[in-house]
Homo-oligomer: A and B are copies of this chain.
Amino acid sequence: MINQQKYPSILLENVVEEFSKLPGIGKKTALRFALYLLKNELIESENLGNAILKFRTEVNHCQICHNVCDDTVCEICNSNKRDNSIVCVVENVADVMAIENTQQFKGLYHVLGGVISPMNGVSPTDLEIASLVSRVAGGGIKEVILALSPDMEGDTTCLYIYKKLAQFNIDISTIARGVSVGDSLEYADEITLGRSIVNRVKYSYEL
């Protein structure tokens, strides 16, 4: 049994225990992290430990889009170069960063902080959905793009938000699902290939 693993030091056992709570990290990798810290200078460990403590206690969330930021309002919401009539709804900050990296979107974001998941005890009130509705109700928004993961929880969340926003006179869209650029049709899964046929777009040699 893995619990019977005996550590020569309680301090080592504690740090391995804490590292192994991180997603995807088991006891062996956690032990490697601890040995890495031990081999390197004290300052490395201090930087890591303090960065974790500082991040969790001091980081803010943008009052408008709820993305993490250092001020009360984030750079994107504050920018006058963005189209504030389009709002892209995403699960978390990693999704914002991924979409920003494409440089294809110049609107604003709304970060839900998760997706509806009864299995994990996440209900709509745990997410930034009410704030999205009041943001849309405030006026000025013409389109909401739902950019959530294409799984059951993402789809449930999309439907829930769609119903909440149906009362407003705005466009509601989702990001296109289809065969990835560079992928061969042969290896695409059936659902993706099916969706990409149903949602086919007019041929244009500009694309």
A contact set with B: CB distance below 8 Å: 5-12, 14-15, 17-19, 21-24, 29, 31-39, 42, 44-60, 67-70, 74-76, 92-94, 96-97, 100-101, 113-114
A24 to chain B, nearest CB (A): 7
Say which residue of B23, B29, B54 sits within 8 Å of A11 (CB atoms).
B54
**Copies of this chain, whole number:** 2
Q: Is the CB of A24 within 8 A of B35?
A: no
A14 to chain B, nearest CB (A): 5
- Decide yes or no: A68 and B36 within 8 Å by CB, A55-B45, A97-B7, A100-B6 being known contacts: no
Most buried by B among A22, A50, A76: A22
Residues of B within 8 A of A70 (CB): 9-11
How far does the alpha carbon of A46 sit from the alpha carbon of B114 in the complex, in Å? 22
Residues of B within 8 A of A57 (CB): 42, 45
Residues of B within 8 A of A18 (CB): 47-48, 51-52
Closest to A33 in B: B22
A118 to chain B, nearest CB (A): 17
Q: Is the CB of A42 within 8 A of B22?
A: no
How far does the alpha carbon of A102 sit from the alpha carbon of B45 in the complex, in Å? 31
